[in-house]
Amino acid sequence: MESTNPNMLFAEYTKMLGQFKLPGIDIGALMETQRKDIEALATANSTAIAGVQALGQKQAEILRETMAGVQTLLTQVASRSTEPGGQTGELVQQAMHKALADMQDLAETAYRAQSESIAVVTKRAAEHVEELKALLQQKK
């Protein structure tokens, strides 16, 4: 089993198990169930990775926007020769509201990615149970 190709690994594994004659057990059906389980896990992992990437991109975007806002605020304050006035307080308040909205957006992105990954695994678990039921009913 030198290959890391999943299809080749399953073929080798099925061939190896096929050598053993186990009465009442359909090796092909059992291997197909396992193959689907692994595919579902791979899909869930891909979904989770995509979610983490989206979260990282969103965090980078928020950081860029925040730094640009801070730079603008500092430029405005520095351009005035007098003390910062009420407008500075309003700008700070707006920045805080934006930061809170961005945090909520990040939380929603993380929740969405996690929900999609869990949905893939849950769906496959339900399919697995149905496949096992069908295998057991065939043997009766």
Digit-coded pLDDT (tens) for 92-106: 778 778 878 888 888
Structural domain containing residue 108: 6-139
Query: Is 56 contained in some domain?
Result: yes
Query: Is 135 contained in some domain?
Result: yes
Residues 6+ away with beta carbon under 8 Å from 139: 24
Whether 43 has a pLDDT exceeding 80, the answer reads yes
Q: How many domains does the chain have?
A: 1
pTM value? Answer: 0.54
Residues 6+ away with beta carbon under 8 Å from 50: 113
Query: Is 1 contained in some domain?
Result: no
Cα end-to-end span (Å), the chain = 35
Query: Is 40 contained in some domain?
Result: yes
